[in-house]
Amino acid sequence: MSNGASNGDTWDAAWGSNDTLYFQHNDGTGFSNGAFVHDRICGLQGTPQNPPSLAGTDLNPGTLGASLNGSPCYSTGLYEVDGVLYHNVCYSQQIPGAWVFHHTSIIKSLDGGRNWINHLGQTNVMPPDNTNQCMFPSESWGEVNFVKYGRGGTAPAIDNAQSYVYLCAAWANCRLARIARTDLPKLDKTKIQFYAGGDGLADSSWTNNIALSAPIPTPTTSPTAMV
């Protein structure tokens, strides 16, 4: 546990059903000033109403294990749905002036972040770094996060959010995707639908063709979640 400063960037959060606030961070040493990694899962407990109660823990790499240690991937999203943690990871082209984040896929953990399964059914193996085998085969979907509702992924009866889990991309422009909550555990990329324009509550506004995903005008773009 640490009550001190954290080190790393992005720090995207997921509110777990056990009331742990799970975090991912990129490029940093976490709460414990441990190994510098591209991607780490952390936990935060306590309440801001009582600042001394706040305590952060490095989970993976950290107290849970090191299955993410040495990962070549960056991460841009973390969310819990029906007791399962989902984590979006991507690869980066680190060329000054020509930064690229791409080849995004989703991995899942059934044990609170200790072990991770990719969409090919492999455990503790990062998804492929290529367009043909990743889950989001488009340069417009390089930084993907979740549209987040309540604790443990619970959602009110709005936006069809009790039936679908939504994702957003913000690398080139803001874009939306959805996958049925019942299909999400399968990590089947053919089940992902992309918003093509029009009334988002109408099924006709969604397509399985990622090339038809429509940019949504926004003042700025950032790899952050909608909450």
Strand, coil or helix: what is 140?
Answer: helix
Structure tokens belonging to residue 79: 């969310």
Distance CA 115, CA 110 (A): 7
pLDDT digits (tens, 9 = 90+) for 14-43: 999 988 899 999 999 999 888 899 999 999
pLDDT digits (tens, 9 = 90+) for 54-111: 899 999 999 999 999 999 999 989 999 999 999 999 999 878 877 888 999 999 999 9
Q: Is the model's pTM score more than 0.75? A: yes
The domain of 54 spans 7-212
How far apart, in Å, are the Cα atoms of 88 and each of 20, 52, 188, 201? 19, 31, 14, 25
Number of domains, the chain: 1
The stretch 175-180 carries a mean pLDDT of: 96
**In the block, residue with structure tokens 């960037």:** 9
Residue 151 within any structural domain of the chain: yes
- Which amino acid would we find at residue 201? L
